[in-house]
Each structure stands twice: as structure tokens, then as C-alpha cells.
Structure 1
Amino acid sequence: MLKPIKTEAQYEIVLERLYELIQTDISAESEEEAEFEILTLLVKEYERQRHPIGPPHPIEAIKFRLDQLGMKESDLNKILGNRSRKSDILSGRRKLSLSMIRKLHNSLNIPAEALISSY
């Protein structure tokens, strides 16, 4: 019987069962597929409550997104303005302004929540 995960021991058991299901060839519309989907939702909710992941550091979010897009740090010059501003931001000597946050959000599609964190 499926039920909410309330302890770390239950969490580990559910993870083991998910691993078993992943190792099999699950047929669409089967009981195993339904079980897999439900267990995945239970794990996601447990992890959201017990193991929350905080937002990334704003500078790390920018660097990660640049890497994802295959861009270089120098490409930030076009977004943020001059080269010294980009260098100051990436080195931590200067904080992101609201207009910079908007530009980064709009041009690189970085969630604003990741950019507004204090650092």
C-alpha cells in the first residue's frame, strides 16, 4: 500500500523500490508505471520538505547559465555594459543592481529569484 513518506528509513525503502522499477522495462499504462509515478511524487514531496535546496549564489547562477548557453564571460559586456562592470560583478566587488537583474533575467532567462539573493 502506498502512503506518504514520513521517515528517512521509509525514504530509503522507496528509493530502493524506485531503483528496482528503473531497472525493469516498464510497460506504458501498467501497474508498475503507475507505482513509479506515485513513488516519484512521494519522493519529490519528501525531499521538498526535508531536504530543500536553496537558491544558488547569484554569481554562480550567472556563470552556470553562461556555460549552459556556450557563452563566455566576455559576452556579459553586451548585457551589462562595459568590461569593468562585468569584472566587478563577477569578482564580487560590485552587487547586481535591479536593472542588471532585469537584463540578465531577460537576456539569459535566469530566474530573478536566483539573482536577487543576498551575497
Structure 2
Amino acid sequence: MINVQPVITKTDHKLALKRIETLMDKGNKTRFDEIELETLFVLVSNYEEKHIQIFPPDPIDAILFRMEQQGLTQGDIAKILGSKQRASEYLNKKIPLSIEAIRKLNDSLGISGDILIQKYTTKG
């Protein structure tokens, strides 16, 4: 038997996440476990869409993260952007990303343009 409650409050959300974790860790899931897990995912997702605001990452942090994921160096970014100096200026937040840099980084690294166009504070 499946015992699923609506996720309306923070407490409901916390309990649902705990139950999801328990079900995910369970070895031999029954069909009822699978249905409960899927239902909880939907309920938690709906709650989070309405109540938890997720801000897009800082563009430079997103680039640095992707560099780490792919084992890239600043030199690799310089090749994408066409200049070691420009790559350094962008990665050290001395200047904002240009539209051309955003296009190149989007094409080469697959970082969403929505992330790359976000405003961020420069040090220059």
C-alpha cells in the first residue's frame, strides 16, 4: 500500500525528501515503492517550483565549473576566445563578457546563453 501525503509545507517537503532518500537506498524495490518514489518526485518538484527560488549561477563561476568538469585550462579558454589576455580579463572578472565571447563559450563549452548573459560584478 502506498501512503503519500501532499507536499504543502516546509515540514512536508523535508519529510518527503527523507522518504525519497530511504526509497532510493532500498535494494529490491517493489512496484509500490517505484510508484511511491515517482509520486513523491512529482510532489516535491511541484513544491520546489512554487516555493524555492533558484538563482542562475554567476557566468564566470559557470565557466570555471565547466573548465573543471572538462579538465580545461585558462590556455584552452584563450584558444576559444582568441586571446590569452582577454581570457584572463574575463576569468578574473576584470571586464564583463562580450556578446562575441558569450557566443564562443556557448558553442565551445555548451554553457547556456541564459547563464552567460547574467549580470555579475567586475573587479575593474
Q: Is TM more than 0.5 here?
A: yes
Read off the aligned partner of 1:71 and give its amino acid letter: L
Q: Give the alignment's Cα RMSD to 1 decimal.
A: 1.6
Q: CA deviation at 1:10?
A: 1.0
The residue number in structure 2 matching 1:19 is 21
Report the Cα distance in structure 1 between the residues aligned to 2:33 and 2:19, rounded to whole angstroms: 11
The residue number in structure 2 matching 1:80 is 81
Report the Cα distance in structure 2 between the residues aligned to 1:82 and 1:12, rounded to whole angstroms: 48
Report the Cα distance in structure 2 between the residues aligned to 1:4 and 1:97, rounded to whole angstroms: 46
Report the Cα distance in structure 2 between the residues aligned to 1:68 and 1:77, rounded to whole angstroms: 17
Report the Cα distance in structure 2 between the residues aligned to 1:104 and 1:40, rounded to whole angstroms: 33
Q: CA deviation at 1:3?
A: 4.7
Structure 2 gap segments, 5+ residues each = none
The residue number in structure 1 matching 2:109 is 108
Q: CA deviation at 1:55?
A: 0.6
The residue number in structure 2 matching 1:52 is 53
Report the Cα distance in structure 1 between the residues aligned to 2:24 and 2:34, rounded to whole angstroms: 10
The CA deviation string for residues 61-106 of structure 1, in whole angstroms up to 9 with x for no partner, is 0000011111111111111111111111111111111111010000
Q: Per the alignment, in what secondary structure is the counterpart of residue 110 of structure 1?
A: coil
Moved more, 2-11 or 98-107: 2-11
The residue number in structure 2 matching 1:36 is 37
Kept in 2, the 8 Å contact 1:26–1:33? The answer is no
Kept in 2, the 8 Å contact 1:61–1:110? The answer is yes
Structure 1 gap segments, 5+ residues each = none
- Identity across the alignment (%): 37
The residue number in structure 2 matching 1:89 is 90
